[in-house]
Amino acid sequence: MIFNTDTAKKTAELLLQINAIKLNPKNPFTWASGWKSPIYCDNRITLSFPPIRNYLREEFAKNIEKQFGKPDVIAGVATGAIGIGMLVAEIMGLPFVYVRPEPKKHGRENQVEGFLQKGQSVLVVEDLISTGKSSLQAVEALKAAGANVKGMVAIFTYGFEIAEENFKNANVELYTLGNYDMLLKEAVAKKYITEDEYDTLKEWRKSPSTWGIEV
């Protein structure tokens, strides 16, 4: 669920401006999962543009407090959300930790890095939601460390049904600054894509795991 349509529209506009969202229906990308995709989202690029990263952190901070109340700690999901998570923690004046995909194999073998006390309320920051699997693994790691996870926020979501189901089943509330539907509307309006490409991108979202596979 997006925080609000104005923020989603502005977020889409900014991501398109800096080419953080790459739309290429004619020459699809291949994700790590093996899925063929006409879109690739790289939100790390936002960190290189101070006005844009400041907009994102301010929108996050404002909407987090409004929707969830002020948590004790902000947690970023490694590696993509470490940067934006730190910026959000900084503007909110809160401690920051980050969560690895799995525990380290050496040293203290931590999965949650930073100082976190049992019982503290934590708001998780993510950069991108696809299926939600890795994001929810971070939530489980925080819970295992004794945290009270209030919810999760992200810059962008593809809005896959499987993600909605995964978050619902995990009983984790998710809010995002932007989403796929608003992105496509902005991309067409600003002529980043044609109407035909818009139709292709809409079709892909219905069945991303099988799209582009020849039978």
What is the CATH classification number for the domain harbouring 10? 3.40.50.2020
> Where on the phi/psi map is residue 31: left (φ > 0), alpha (ψ -120 to 50), or beta?
beta
- Is 53 labelled as part of a ligand binding site? no
**Token pair for 9:** 């529209």
72 labeled part of a ligand binding site: no
Q: Regarding beta strands 121-129 and 148-157, do their DSSP bridges make them parallel or antiparallel, or are they unpaired?
A: parallel
Is residue 21 one of the residues assigned to a domain? yes
Say if CB 113 and CB 23 are below 8 A apart: no
The more confidently predicted of residues 109 and 79 is: 79
Is 134 annotated to bind a ligand? Reply is yes
Assess if residue 201 is contained within a domain.
Answer: yes
- Give phi and psi for 199, each to the nearest 5: -65, -40
Q: Tens digit of pLDDT for each residue in 72-102?
A: 999 999 989 999 999 999 999 999 999 998 7
Average pLDDT over residues 22-34: 82
pLDDT at 214 over 60: no
Beta bridge partners of 112: 99
Does some domain include residue 32?
A: yes
Residue 209 annotated as binding site: no
pLDDT over threshold 50, residue 215 = no
Residue 124 lies in a domain: yes
Task: Give residue 213's pLDDT band: very low, low, confident or very high (50, 70, 90).
Answer: low
The whole-number pLDDT of residue 102 equals 79
Q: Does residue 22 lie in a domain region?
A: yes
Q: How many domains does the chain have?
A: 1
Q: Is 214 annotated as a binding residue?
A: no
* Residue 211 within a domain: no
Domain residue limits at 127: 5-205
Close Cβ partners of 35 (under 8 Å, ≥ 6 residues apart)? 208, 209, 211
pTM (whole model) above 0.85: yes
Give a yes or no: residue 213 inside a domain: no
CA atoms within a 13 Å half-sphere pointing along the CA-CB vector of 82: 10
In a domain, 171, yes or no: yes
Would the annotation count 39 as a binding residue? no
Annotated binding residue 126? yes
Known binding residue 130? Answer is yes
100 a known binding residue? yes
**Is 168 part of any known ligand binding site?**
no
- Residue 73, pLDDT score: 98
